[in-house]
Amino acid sequence: MKRHSIGLLPGDGIGREVVPAARRVLEQVAATHHVPLSFEEYDWGSDYYFQHGVMMPMDALDRLRTHDAILLGAVGHPHVPDHITLNGMLLPIRRAFDLYANVRPAYLYEGVASPLSGYEPGSIDMVVVRENTEGEYANIGGYLYHHLPSEVAVQTSVFTRAGCERIIRFAFDLARRRDRKRRVASITKSNAQGYGMVLWDRVFREVAADYPDITTESLLVDAAAMNFVRRPASFDVVVASNLFGDILSDLSAIVTGSIGLAPSANLDPRRLAPSLFEPVHGSAPDIAGKGLANPLGTILAAAMLRDHLGATSAAAAVEFAVRQVLAAGSTLTADVGGTASTADVTGAVLAALDEGNE
Ligand code: GGG
């Protein structure tokens, strides 16, 4: 198999702990499954910002474009406004590479307790498909009378027919590929957002007509939030706008135990640019540097990366090793009820991979 080149962006906070952990897992599985990888690590993020006044250098996108895929840790620093860090690093990559499908699976693994009672392992198994390049994240707007008492801020959402159609089609195709409940739920707030989200709802109905084998429902985001808690097992694929998908995927992560377990793929389904893989969680400055972060969300994101690059058995081996560590229950970080460190959990995944290879 071709040697794939991976760009590593640990970024900020616990990103610097979980990306090295996932790299070790990728290296081990590359060796045992004969799917060679090379890595190039970039020290971009908030520390780079303190030195250079920008989160990434001018040629960052050109350099990242040379890779087959990117693994990112987290962005966010307590001493830099969040809109600077996010708009300086993660969002420009998503936009420049047109990574329009943000795929965020949530699965209740054996050995992990949901905060909701009565759910068996595997009973919650959903994927939030988040539109990733437009919507509420379009970053269009401005200030009038900036910093004056009469200040006005305008922030515009952008919904294009093409943007809605491609992400909704992606969600239907995913429901077919997953072949589980064959359901797609579309989330908007079109009673209050009477243009962009009305367009989204209309496109959803049009696309749904091409997929008669898939059951659909259309929910307002407030009802969706309630139903993620009330009937999480009923969901399969959930397609939502950029902001709603971001919020709901924190909810799907927590009902399946911890945001520390949640992986995410930012995909260019046409494969013209490298796709980017990351944990759903942020930089967690409260625990950064203490060796306490759960590396499993990033390790599962690394498995999605391997799968995307065609190394399906290597990806399955990583996911299986994670399942074994969780089911064993003896080496878990605090967010999932244990006392183990990032290094301990990474070691347990490496050992499970070793065993699986014997
Ligand atoms: N794992 C990347 C990260 O730091 N995510 C936190 C975050 O706030 N992301 C914003 C977003 O995905 O829109």
| pLDDT tens-place string over residues 67-81 | 999 999 999 999 999
Residues 307 and 239 in one domain: no
Residues 232 and 278 in one domain: no
Helix (H) or strand (E) holding 216: strand 215-220
Q: Residue 1 above 80 pLDDT?
A: no
Instruction: Tell me how many domains the chain contains.
Output: 2
Boundary of a domain, candidates 226, 255, 284 = 255
Residues 154 and 209 in one domain: yes
Of all residues in the chain, what percent carry a pLDDT higher than 90? 98
What pLDDT was estimated at residue 232?
Answer: 98
d(C-alpha 23, C-alpha 3), whole Å: 15
Residues 238 and 289 in one domain: no
Which neighbouring-strand residues pair with 277?
71, 265
Distance 87 CA to ligand 1 centre (A): 11
Residues 233 and 295 in one domain: no
Residues 148 and 248 in one domain: yes
Q: State the residue range of the domain holding 232.
A: 125-255
- Residue 93, token pair as written in the block: 């990559």
Q: What beta strand segments (E) does 108-205 contain?
A: 125-131, 135-144, 152-158, 183-188
Q: What is the mean pLDDT of the chain?
A: 97
User: Among 250, 268, 307, 335, which one carries the catalytic annotation?
Assistant: 250
Residues 271 and 349 in one domain: yes
Question: What residues contact residue 51 under an 8 Å CB cut-off, 6+ apart?
Answer: none
Told to judge if 246 belongs to the known catalytic residues of this protein, a careful annotator would answer: yes
Strands 4-11 and 37-41: parallel
Within a domain: 131: yes
Which neighbouring-strand residues pair with 220?
188
Q: Domain with 191 in it: what CATH number?
A: 3.40.718.10
Work out the pLDDT band at 60, boundaries 50, 70, 90.
Answer: very high
What pLDDT was estimated at residue 19?
Answer: 98
What pLDDT was estimated at residue 170?
Answer: 98
Boundary of a domain, candidates 255, 287, 322 = 255
Q: Residue 358 above 80 pLDDT?
A: no
Within a domain: 9: yes
* Residue 83, Cβ density class (10 Å: 0-12 exposed, 13-18 middle, ≥19 buried): exposed
Within a domain: 119: no
C-alpha 357 chain-centroid distance: 28
Residues 159 and 236 in one domain: yes
Work out the pLDDT band at 356, boundaries 50, 70, 90.
Answer: confident
Nearest atom, ligand 1, residue 82 CA: 8
Within a domain: 115: no
Residues 131 and 251 in one domain: yes
For 236-254, what is the mean pLDDT?
98
Angle at 275 between CA 316 and CA 56, to 5 degrees: 130
What pLDDT was estimated at residue 357?
Answer: 76
Using one digit for the tens of pLDDT, what is the confidence trace for 145-161? 999 999 999 999 999 99
What pLDDT was estimated at residue 344?
Answer: 98
Q: Residue 2 above 90 pLDDT?
A: no
Within a domain: 111: no
What pLDDT was estimated at residue 5?
Answer: 98
Within a domain: 150: yes
Residues 67 and 145 in one domain: no
Residues 148 and 82 in one domain: no
Boundary of a domain, candidates 255, 287, 306 = 255
Using one digit for the tens of pLDDT, what is the confidence trace for 134-146? 999 999 999 999 9
Told to judge if 210 belongs to the known catalytic residues of this protein, a careful annotator would answer: no
Q: Residue 198 above 80 pLDDT?
A: yes
Distance 121 CA to ligand 1 centre (A): 27
Within a domain: 95: yes
- For ligand 1, atom 5: residue with the closest CA: 282
